[in-house]
Amino acid sequence: MPKTITIKSENFISNLPISWQQQLSQAVSDPDQLLDILNIKPDQFPLFSEANQQFSLKVPHAYINKIQKSNARDPLLLQIMTQSQEMLPSENFHTDPVGDLNANKTPGLLHKYNGRVLLITTGACAVHCRYCFRRHFPYQQQQAGREQWSQAINYIQHDKSIKEVILSGGDPLVLSDKKLDDLVTQLENIPHITRLRIHSRLPVVLPDRITDKLVNTLSSSRFNVCLVIHANHANEITDNEVNALDKLKQAGIHLLNQAVLLKDINHHIDDQVNLSETLFNAGVLPYYLHLLDPVQGAAHFDVKLNDALCLMTQMQNKLPGFLVPRLVREIAGETSKTPANEL
Ligand SMILES: *Cc1c(COP(=O)(O)O)cnc(C)c1O
Ligand code: SF4
């Protein structure tokens, strides 16, 4: 059963349980409305409408509830709020920074690394993260719609070196339980696939998405399943998220986290230590900490390489090795993510 969440509307407060799909459809897309809910004056975020036209704001109430009221510098708010800085031109920041447009094998299928392919199952996300390298990605042409899955599956079938399929997007968990179940079933018919990986921000953006049916689809498949969540800050993980993650954990699904290093959001050592410890308490191991992809509109989030390397040294001094994520950058044309100390 979906949990009961409180939605404040103009005249009444309802406590009806609402499904994750309903919560998704009620996501806030108007910056003024968001600031109003959070009791923040619009003059704290001047000139956001142009940025909003380029890549619209989108955030579900379950995430808004974790943002501190009246705090225009809240680390969760800064990840999702449209800002005028996004429109500043910045040298060396591009619209396809990781070369995805050249890595397509069939529509929506990326095969860049040995043994694993990445399937863009949908262009949609539950939240629009301002730093995202996909903000300029032509999803409509690239995503593997259901008809195109058969082309992707055909490709995977014919390459026995592929052991792992990564469901990505957009966010694969915005697909219905039924669609995901169908896809997993089709992949199960390919004998050389042994690992299924899902990259999703839903467990920390809309934890009610972790339905019993989804958990069952994943745990009953023959695959060794890994879910890589995407939390950038410890405040994203509250009891609701811990409960959702626990269901997955109980079902034997491996849980990892990838984060993006973001100025003013998680670039301080305390933020990173808190994030790693909070993740581990929720059964999740830190996997990657990504240097920001140089995507146009996100330059204000950039942390300099040297500062990032210093941060890693500090983390190594404060945390057990298994709670220190690997600092990496994605570089077009490389055969894996590139460790930052090799840059
Ligand atoms: C990041 C990425 C992967 C996964 O890389 P890992 O190092 O295995 O986590 C796979 N394929 C593509 C196209 C990617 O961008
Ligand atoms: S792909 Fe991931 S990081 Fe990008 S907007 Fe969607 S949820 Fe956010």
Q: Give me the residue label for tokens 């929720």.
A: 282
**336 CA to centre of ligand 1 in angstroms:** 7
Task: For residue range 88-140, list pLDDT tens digits in order.
Answer: 878 778 777 666 666 677 888 999 999 999 999 998 999 999 999 767 765 55
8 A C-beta contact, residue 103 and residue 119: no
In sequence order, which residues have a C-beta less than 8 Å from that of residue 232 and are 6 or more positions away? 75, 79, 259, 260, 262, 265, 266, 275
Q: How far is CA 292 from the centre of its chain?
A: 14
Q: Give me the residue label for tokens 């390919």.
A: 190
Same domain, 155 and 227: yes
Strand locations in 230-343 (E): 254-260, 285-290, 326-329, 338-339
Same domain, 268 and 237: yes
Task: For residue range 216-225, list pLDDT tens digits in order.
Answer: 999 999 999 9
- State the ligand closest to the CA atom of 165: 1
Residue bearing the bigger pLDDT, 3 or 61:
61
Domain harbouring 303, CATH code: 3.20.20.70
Look at the chain and report how many structural domains it folds into.
2
Q: Which of 62, 87, 112 is the last residue of a domain?
A: 87
With CA atoms as reference, report the closest residue to 199 among 308, 119, 305, 266. 119
Distance CA 312, CA 289 (A): 10
Same domain, 145 and 52: no
Q: What residue numbers does the annotated binding site for [4Fe-4S] cluster cover?
A: 125, 129, 132
Torsion of CA 331, 108, 258, 218, to 10 degrees: -150
Q: From the CA of 110, give the closest atom in ligand 1.
A: 13
User: Greatest CA span in the chain, whole angstroms?
Assistant: 59
Global confidence as pTM: 0.93
128 lines ligand 2 (CB under 6 A): yes
pLDDT for 99 equals 66
In sequence order, which residues have a C-beta less than 8 Å from that of residue 313 and are 6 or more positions away? none
144 lines ligand 2 (CB under 6 A): no
134 lines ligand 2 (CB under 6 A): yes
Please report whether residue 93 resides in a domain.
no
As for ligand 1, residues whose beta carbon falls within 6 Å of it are 110, 112-113, 116, 118, 166, 336-337
Please report whether residue 2 resides in a domain.
no
Same domain, 58 and 151: no
Q: From the CA of 166, give the closest atom in ligand 1.
A: 10
pLDDT at 190 over 80: yes
Kindly state the DSSP code that residue 133 receives in the 8-state scheme. G
**196 CA to centre of ligand 1 in angstroms:** 13
Kindly state the DSSP code that residue 332 receives in the 8-state scheme. T
**289 CA to centre of ligand 1 in angstroms:** 13
Conformational region of residue 57, where left means phi above 0, alpha means psi within -120 to 50, and beta covers everything else: beta
With CA atoms as reference, report the closest residue to 203 among 161, 253, 163, 277. 253
pLDDT at 48 over 90: no
Pairing of strands 254-260, 224-229: parallel
Please report whether residue 27 resides in a domain.
yes
First-last CA distance in the chain? 48
In sequence order, which residues have a C-beta less than 8 Å from that of residue 150 and are 6 or more positions away? none
pLDDT for 10 equals 45
Q: Where does the pLDDT of residue 17 fall: very low under 50, low under 70, confident under 90, or very high at 90 and above?
A: confident
Q: What residue numbers does the annotated binding site cover?
A: 125, 129, 132
Range of 51's domain? Answer: 7-87
**291 CA to centre of ligand 1 in angstroms:** 14
User: Is residue 206 classed as helix, strand or coil in its secondary structure?
Assistant: coil
- State the ligand closest to the CA atom of 116: 1
- Own/partner long-range contacts of 12-19 (Cβ < 8 Å, ≥24 apart): 19/208
